[in-house]
Amino acid sequence: MASRSKSRNAPAGASPFAVEAARLPEEKFSDPDWTAKGEPRASVPLVQLDTLWLNTGTLCNLACASCYIESSPTNDALVYLSHAHAAPFLDEAGAIGTPEIGFTGGEPFMNPDFVPMLADTLERGFEALILSNAMKPMRRHEAALLDMRERFGDRLTIRVSLDHHTKAVHEAERGPRSWEVAIDGLQWLSRNGFSLAVAGRMLPDESEADERAGYARLFAEHDIAVDAGDPMRLVLFPEMDEDKDIAEITTACWQILGQDPKDIMCATSRMVVHRKGEPEPRVTACTLIPYDPGFDMGATLDEASRPVKLNHPHCARFCVLGGASCSA
Ligand code: SF4
Ligand code: SF4
Q: What is the 3-state secondary structure (H, E, C) of 67-97?
A: CCCCCECCCCCECCCCHHHHHHHHHHHHHCC
Kindly indicate the confidence band of residue 3, based on its pLDDT and cuts at 50, 70 and 90: very low
Task: Please report the pLDDT score of residue 2 as a whole number.
Answer: 43
For residues 78-90, one letter each, b for 16 or more C-beta atoms within 10 angstroms of the residue's C-beta and e for the rest, the string is: bbbbbbebbeebb
| Residue whose CA lies nearest to ligand 2 atom number 8 | 266
Residue 45 pLDDT greater than 70, yes or no: yes
| Residue whose CA lies nearest to ligand 2 atom number 1 | 315
d(CA 213, CA 35): 40
Task: Please report the pLDDT score of residue 273 as a whole number.
Answer: 98
* Mean per-residue pLDDT over the chain, rounded: 93
Query: Are the C-beta atoms of residues 59 and 75 closer than 8 Å to each other?
Result: yes
The rounded Å distance from CA 18 to ligand 1 centre is 16
Helix (H) or strand (E) holding 53: strand 51-55
Residues 228-244, mean pLDDT to the nearest whole number: 88
Task: Please report the pLDDT score of residue 97 as a whole number.
Answer: 98
pLDDT in tens, 131-175: 999 999 999 999 999 999 999 999 999 999 999 999 999 999 999
pLDDT over 70, % of the chain: 96
Residues 8-17, mean pLDDT to the nearest whole number: 77
Domains identified in the chain and CATH numbers: 47-243+262-305 (3.20.20.70)
Q: Which atom of ligand 2 is nearest to the CA of 319?
A: 4
How far, in Å, are 194, 273, 306 from residue 105 at the CA level?
A: 20, 10, 25
Task: Please report the pLDDT score of residue 8 as a whole number.
Answer: 61
d(CA 130, CA 83): 16
The rounded Å distance from CA 207 to ligand 1 centre is 24
pLDDT in tens, 88-139: 999 999 999 999 999 999 999 999 999 999 999 999 999 999 999 999 999 9
Q: What is the pTM of this model?
A: 0.94
Residue 327 pLDDT greater than 70, yes or no: no
| Residue whose CA lies nearest to ligand 1 atom number 3 | 106
DSSP label at residue 266: G
Burial of 167 (0-12, 13-18, 19+ CB in 10 A): middle
Query: Are the C-beta atoms of residues 319 and 240 closer than 8 Å to each other?
Result: no
Closest CA to 11 of 60, 55, 59, 63: 63
Task: Please report the pLDDT score of residue 1 as a whole number.
Answer: 42
Task: Give the sign of the dihedral formed by CA 241, CA 242, CA 243, CA 249.
Answer: positive
Closest CA to 197 of 163, 230, 158: 158
Residue 7 pLDDT greater than 70, yes or no: no
Kindly indicate the confidence band of residue 10, based on its pLDDT and cuts at 50, 70 and 90: confident
Q: Which residues contact 306 (CB under 8 A, 6 or more apart)?
A: 46, 297
pLDDT in tens, 205-223: 889 999 999 999 999 999 9
Say whether the peptide bond before residue 106 is cis (omega within 30 degrees of 0).
Answer: yes
Pocket test for ligand 2, best of 250, 251, 286 (most atoms within 8 A of CB): 286
Q: Which atom of ligand 2 is nearest to the CA of 314?
A: 1
The rounded Å distance from CA 265 to ligand 2 centre is 6
pLDDT in tens, 240-283: 778 888 999 999 999 999 999 999 999 999 999 999 999 999 99
d(CA 309, CA 285): 9
The rounded Å distance from CA 69 to ligand 1 centre is 8
The partner residues of 49 in beta bridges, in order of sequence, read: none
Residue 11 pLDDT greater than 90, yes or no: no
Least confident of 95-109, 279-293, 308-322: 308-322
User: CA dihedral in degrees (178, 179, 185, 186; nearest 10)?
Assistant: 140
How far, in Å, are 4, 14, 26, 176 from residue 173 at the CA level?
A: 14, 8, 28, 9
Q: Which residues contact 220 (CB under 8 A, 6 or more apart)?
A: none
Residue 285 pLDDT greater than 60, yes or no: yes
Query: Are the C-beta atoms of residues 172 and 65 closer than 8 Å to each other?
Result: yes
Task: Please report the pLDDT score of residue 291 as a whole number.
Answer: 95
pLDDT over 90, % of the chain: 84
